Amino acid sequence: MYDVALTQSYFPAQGDIPEPMTIGALLQHMAGERGDNIALVELTFDGARGREWTFAALYKDAERLARALAGRHGRGARVAVWAPNVPEWILMEYACALAGVTLVTVNPSYQARELKYVLEQSRAEAIYYVEEFRGNPMQAIADEVCDQIPAITRRILLTDHAALFDGEEAGAALPDVRPGDEAQIQYTSGTTGFPKGALLHHYGLVRNGIDAMTRGGVRPGDAFIHHMPLFHTTGCAILALGGVGLGATMFLAPIFDPAMIVRVIEREKPRFLLGVPTMIVALIDEVEKSGRDVSSIKRIMSGGAMVAPELIRKAEKTFGSVIQIIYGQTESSPVITQAWSDDKLEDLTETIGQPLPFVEASIRDPQTNKVLPCGEQGEICTRGYLVMTGYNDNPEATKAAIDSEGWLHTGDLGRMDERGYVTITGRVKEMIIRGGENLFPAEIENAILEHPEIAEVAVVGVPDEKWGEQVACFMRACGGDCPAPAAMKDFIRQRLSPQKTPKFWIYVEEWPLTGSGKIRKFKLAEAFQEGAFEVLTA
């Protein structure tokens, strides 16, 4: 841990920050340093080893693809990648970076309306996709959506390598990409009903991934299994950039399947593991059931929710390692604070650790923006290389998130002690965190209000032992019959992806209101926990 003695809730940046680096330069450097070592191994759905790349081969294929991209897209063009965890996603990440093209990440579970919003808002000119994933007919959905968007001039299947690499032989020159250049647009949660596109730069993504993985104990030559979704910063920045940047070997899993992951751990002996708490619980349960040897795991990182003391103890018993929690958000590339492996149990379970190196953090009065004394509750803020450039085509939201002094306001409430350890106490936003994924109520509410028999709706998060939070939907019918939960579930699944579907459906006749007539959502959540409603499930 950093040895500091604070009186104010301001944590100064620690250390002298290294020279900024681009994503492409990172891979090129590692190809020179560890060219013959294995960088990427594809895992099949049953856990078998598929295709493999050394660091040199990964750089070679990324450069080939970059030349193909540079021949069909101008510098600064935006292209969407709509795919699950496949090696071609990783190749696109590095190739776009080398070609000066901005990668727009898209959740593979999206339905037509969600995909259309992201493609239009990002101003993407092409989509690189797969045919389907877990029953979602992605190619058919994309083709239907892109027929409505004239700006999309190319649709290329990632599995069609002839089309994907077409033009590489022309030898298009690669641009001079700089660390501060835009690298990715990732869509994050908000309360306006639509996600906002965070503009992330090379410098932030590279430095943040390396520093998070370094504190996580990853070393050159280590192996790790990557089962986090690549469209999240956890997957494409912390693991795909940080892991590769430290010279570790990535085993890329197509999905999170606890039985498969545990089999691979026993066979491949990885040293490092990252997953949200629900994943860690599932892996522990699988180990207890199967009896497989997972003793190779020496470091575990988790985020997206606080880690219960019992889970810390179970992880140490099962893997021989404690869990280091990480905290951040997409807008901060993503990690702001992280626990240390030798922290005391109370710090591991009651705090979110200290800031990463080279990162400033503070707790500020939400009204005055002044730094508060240690121990007082305020908004968690951060400043430094990790902060996004802004929100795509949304200067108002950018101004609200990043103040005139460069502080990113997270929207989360917390306290900082004299050692610089931060504790989350609540959320300024109404965001729901389910299984480590951020969901925003307004988007779900807007979709439900399209139902002709629903007059009003309020979506809130309610506590859940497995997922951290579940989605509860409170509704007032138009006056006639109340649609059954099964019918409402079918209705919402036609519009939104599965994780946004409410678990609980509650009909109400009146709302708890503020003096200005707004629904008091926290009162709904409290009454739900007290058992005051008839709760329906589908």
* Better-predicted residue by pLDDT, 66 or 322: 66
How far is residue 341 CA from its own chain's centroid?
A: 22
Half-sphere exposure at residue 303, Cβ-oriented, CA atoms within 13 angstroms: 25
CB 190 within 8 A of CB 440: yes
Helix intervals (H) in 269-308: 277-290
Structure confidence at residue 301 as a pLDDT band (50, 70, 90) = very high
The mean pLDDT of the chain is: 93
Query: Alpha helices, DSSP H only, in 372-432?
Result: 395-401
Euclidean distance between CA atoms 306 and 284, whole angstroms:
17
Is 518 inside any structural domain?
yes
Structure tokens at 480: 């006639």
In which band, very low, low, confident or very high, does the pLDDT at 514 lie, cut at 50, 70 and 90? low
How many angstroms separate the CA atoms of 436 and 310, rounded? 18
Does residue 192 have a pLDDT over 70?
no
User: Residue 372: what are its φ and ψ, rounded to 5°?
Assistant: -95, 155
Q: Is residue 264 part of a domain?
A: no
**Single pTM value for the model:** 0.85
478 in a structural domain? yes
Is the pLDDT assigned to residue 171 strictly greater than 80? no
| Rounded Cα distance, 25 and 368, in Å | 42
pLDDT score of 430 more than 90? no
Q: Is residue 504 part of a domain?
A: yes
pLDDT score, position 307: 72
Q: Is 463 a member of any domain?
A: yes
Phi/psi at 127 (5° precision)? -130, 135
pLDDT, residue 13, reads 98
CB distance 391 to 197 below 8 Å: yes
| Strands lying side by side in the sheet with 154-157 | 154-157, 126-129, 78-82, 102-106, 182-188, 196-201, 390-391
Q: At what angle do helices 23-34 and 55-72 cross, to 10 degrees?
A: 150
Say if residue 524's pLDDT is above 50: yes
pLDDT band at 72, cuts 50/70/90?
A: very high
User: Is 50 exceeded by the pLDDT of residue 190?
Assistant: no
Count the domains in the chain: 1
Residues paired with 413 in a beta bridge: 379, 426
277, 468 contact by CB (below 8 A):
yes
Give which of 367, 386, 361, 49 is closest to 211, Cα–Cα: 386
Taking residues 150-165, report their average pLDDT.
Answer: 98
Task: Provide mean pLDDT across the span 44-65.
Answer: 98
Q: Residue 439 has what pLDDT?
A: 81
Percent over 70 (pLDDT), the chain: 97
Residue 519 half-sphere exposure, CB side, CA atoms within 13 Å? 19
Residue 23 amino acid letter: I
The band of 132, judged by pLDDT with boundaries at 50, 70 and 90, is: very high
Mean pLDDT of 305-325: 86
Tell me: the pLDDT tens digits for 1-15?
999 999 999 999 999
**SS3 at position 529:** helix
Cα 207-86-432 angle, rounded to 5 deg: 65
Out of 76-80, 294-298, 309-313, 483-487, pick the least confident. 309-313
DSSP 472-496: EEEEEE-SSPPPPHHHHHHHHHTTS
pLDDT at residue 517, as a whole number: 62
Q: Which residues are CB-neighbours of 493 under 8 A, at least 6 positions away?
A: 501
3-state secondary structure at position 54: strand
Q: Are 11 and 362 in contact (CB under 8 A)?
A: yes
* Cα(158)–Cα(93) distance, integer angstroms: 12
Question: Contact, 180 vs 201, CB < 8 A?
Answer: yes
Q: Is 54 exposed, middle or buried (0-12, 13-18, 19+ CB in 10 A)?
A: middle
**What gap in Å lies between CA 317 and CA 285, rounded to an integer?**
12
Q: Nearest to residue 177, comparing CAs of 243, 242, 237, 94?
A: 94
* pLDDT score, position 436: 83
* Residue 305: per-residue pLDDT: 62
Helix ranges restricted to H, 85-160: 87-99, 112-122, 138-146
Residue in the block written with tokens 């696109």:
92
Domain assignment present for 475: yes
The tokens for 130 are 């797969």
Single out the residue of 479, 477, 536, 528 nearest to residue 503, CA to CA: 536
**Full domain range(s) for residue 515:** 432-529
Other Cβ atoms closer than 10 A to 207: 28
CATH number of the structural domain spanning residue 450: 3.30.300.30
Considering the domain boundaries, does residue 425 fall inside one? Answer: no
Which residues contact residue 249 at a Cβ distance below 8 angstroms, ignoring those fewer than 6 apart? 37, 38, 39, 40, 41, 221, 222, 223, 224
Average pLDDT of the segment spanning 403-431: 88
In terms of phi and psi (left: phi > 0; alpha: psi -120 to 50; beta: otherwise), the region of 100 is left
User: 188 lies in a domain?
Assistant: no
Distance CA 323, CA 298 (A): 10
pLDDT of residue 306: 61
3 state DSSP class of 192 = coil
How is the beta sheet containing 504-507 ordered, strand by strand?
454-464, 468-477, 504-507
Confidence at 455, pLDDT banded by 50, 70, 90? confident
